[in-house]
A = this chain, B = another copy of it.
């Protein structure tokens, strides 16, 4: 019996989309307002889903408090009130901090840390109209 358990967390961050090899006009053509050199920002909403069999005694796939602490320590504390292009150790400088790439990078951080069950997906909302989801392959 496999149950999927999801924890929602939030962070607020600045970013811009910008390719260094391109000039301002070229960046504007591809990224539009997202290339504003003085940054912009979002209230990101993160959904981390793990899967496993509920423990017969506790009824837990995983202790959701432990899952929350793990997400906060390894993801939220690094991303919240940060600049995603400049401040975060696990976001390489040459990688665009798009919602798609952030979902992959958050997966790569969390996947090795979830040992008592399995990480299933990372879903990240950038606005109420845009979100990305990654399942690890």
Contacts and interface: CB of A to CB of B under 8 A. Distances in A.
Interface string A25-58: 0000011111010111111000000000010011
Copies in the complex: 6
Given A12-B42, A42-B41, A59-B17, A33 B81 contact: yes
Contacts of A68: 129
B34 A130 contact: no
B81 A34 contact: yes
A57 B27 CA distance: 11
Interface string A1-42: 111111111101111010100000000001111101011111
Contacts of A87: 36, 38
24 contacts: A2-B135, A2-B137, A3-B134, A5-B130, A5-B131, A8-B128, A9-B129, A12-B41, A14-B39, A19-B58, A30-B63, A31-B58, A40-B41, A40-B82, A41-B41, A41-B42, A42-B42, A42-B43, A43-B43, A54-B100, A58-B96, A59-B95, A59-B98, A60-B100
